[in-house]
Structure 1
Amino acid sequence: MDQNLTDRAFWKAFWESKKDLIFYIKPDYVFGNILAKLIKDNGIKSAVELGGFPGYYTVFFKKYQHIDATLFDYFIHEGLIKELLAKNDLKYDDISVVEADLFTYEPKVRYDLVTSFGLIEHFADVKDIISRHVALLNPKGTLFITLPNFTGANGWIQRKFDPENYSKHNITTMDPQLLMDICKELGLVEVESYYHGKFSVWLENNAQQSGFVKGIVKSIWLVGKLFTKAVPVETKALSPYIVLKARMAH
């Protein structure tokens, strides 16, 4: 089985099909409160966002946390990054950008915080892709990874209405216990992994769906939101994300 479940053509088409890519990043951006606490508690001065084009978290790190921020991706579109930075009152020179293949990249710089958001589930060998993150960590550095949870309600939506996108995800990665075990095998400490967020569902190709499908997804979304408002739980069945946190031992 190929390690990479996607290729450059997939990502080029993916980003070119996206609308509303450029927007203002708010201080409470998704996972922002968790990241702010990690940065404060661990004295983090530098961060890299792996597979993060066009760089939403790179903007967050620079704009609100005032740390050295690097965007690393296999596919970089400089024009879109400049548009995003300008929208957020930043310049291209305010951040670092690395366009490279993580599997052949020889690290020249390491970071206090290595992050990725919706990256590791696109690879077949979970331990290997996490080890690529770890290789970029400074001593006592912090690892922070998030991925979608397709093992509950949102996974059913993906399988039913967007099987092509679903097939690009390695569902076995979406297991907090597995992720913790891998981090411990890699020598990391202070390892945590858990389901995150109240109910949400989505479709990457929502704009191309029929009104009927859009109606079904919206109805499920509304019912789930009402339920988790009354019963605010974070579970495998309902939560849209999985979070993984860990640190280098030394």
Structure 2
Amino acid sequence: MKQSGLAKKQYWDDVYGALSDTNGADWSPRGYEERVLGHELDRVLRHFRPASALEVGCGDSPWLPYLAREYRLEIAGIDYSERGCELARHRLRQSSTRGTVYCRDLFTLSPEETGTFDLVYSLGVVEHFADLNNVLSRLLRFVRPGGVLFTSVPNLRSLHGLGMWLYQPEVLKKHRVVTRDELAQTYQRLGLSGIRTGHAGLASVGIVSRGVQPRFRRLDGLVAPLAQGANILFQMIMKRLPITGGLPWLAPFIVASGVKNDPGVPASQENVRRGRDGS
């Protein structure tokens, strides 16, 4: 992630600095929000069957060892927070997973340094940049021709965005509100084919980060336990309801995937060969 983004490097250093080392040896998507993202990633992985994947914004990522284990992927990650990279490497070591974590600014790391990847994915990164086209074009440079770019952003034009505005407006300022149409149009502008976009997840209680720059700090001691209790109840309910799709005003995530066309193959042929039209 770039220093000139809406969320500066110090913000991420502080976020990761508050975390302790976590044993990632047996992590899997168990919480509802994680299962929703896991479902969307699984859809892409099973359809395109990539051999390698790069996670952009991989600080403290449990997804790297999980994807390597479950899908036998060659994995790598990029983040510019030293503490975030340290935590990501710790998870790889704990799970005895081979992978590379590049502790570099996304905009200073050249594709030649990392090779090219069948799948490049980000889970809550591009919304921290004012220029969506610029950051997605940078991610696309790491995708090999015929490979896939997968993007997930929080759905902030929803009740979740309202909750963030009420509870933590300073955190909201570090986000760009990205809509499904805007994400699809940017993918199209960048020349991807087989584009698929959608709202993911029924709802979420945990997407608004408790305790992070709350508007009313004195009330946080009351709000945080109530939110934690509500989240526990929500997770218990959603375990019994395998719902991954959602309504635009309620879904916690917006996702998009698309194929980077091979320069030697016309875009129309690439659409037929590799993907489906977005819905």
TM-score, length of structure 1 as denominator length = 0.85
Post-superposition shift, 1:86?
Answer: 3.9
Give yes or no for contact 2:107–2:138 (8 Å, CA) kept in 1.
yes
2:222 maps to 1:212: yes
Residues 43 and 214 of structure 1: is their aligned pair in 2 closer, same or farther, counting only changes over 3 Å?
closer
The answer to which of 128-137 and 11-20 deviates more is 11-20
Post-superposition shift, 1:76?
Answer: 3.2
CA deviation string 1:130-155 (max 9, x = no partner)? 10111111011101110111211111
Q: 1:76 & 1:214 partners in 2: Cα distance?
A: 28
User: Which of 51, 69, 72 is matched with 1:66 structurally?
Assistant: 72
Matching of residues 185-200 of structure 1 within 5 Å: 185-200=189-204
Post-superposition shift, 1:22?
Answer: 4.4
Post-superposition shift, 1:17?
Answer: 2.0
**Paired letter, 1:193:** T
Q: 2:251 & 2:56 partners in 1: Cα distance?
A: 23
Give yes or no for contact 2:60–2:86 (8 Å, CA) kept in 1.
no
CA deviation string 1:55-113 (max 9, x = no partner)? 222112211111110011112335423432244x224xx00111211122221111000
Residues 16 and 136 of structure 1: is their aligned pair in 2 closer, same or farther, counting only changes over 3 Å?
same
Query: Aligned residue for 1:235?
Result: 247
CA deviation string 1:22-54 (max 9, x = no partner)? 444216653223323422322311100001112
Matching of residues 74-223 of structure 1 within 5 Å: 74-77=80-83, 79-87=86-94, 89-91=95-97, 94-108=98-112, 109-171=115-177, 173=178, 175-202=179-206, 203-206=208-211, 210-214=220-224, 217=227
Q: 1:213 & 1:19 partners in 2: Cα distance?
A: 23
**Paired letter, 1:16:** G
* Secondary structure in 2 matching 1:180: helix
Residues 187 and 234 of structure 1: is their aligned pair in 2 closer, same or farther, counting only changes over 3 Å?
same
How large is the RMSD of aligned CA atoms in angstroms? Answer: 2.9
Instruction: Provide the aligned length of Structure 1 versus Structure 2.
Output: 244
| Identity of matched residues, % | 24
**Paired letter, 2:223:** V
Post-superposition shift, 1:217?
Answer: 4.0
Structure 1: unaligned runs, 5 residues or longer: none
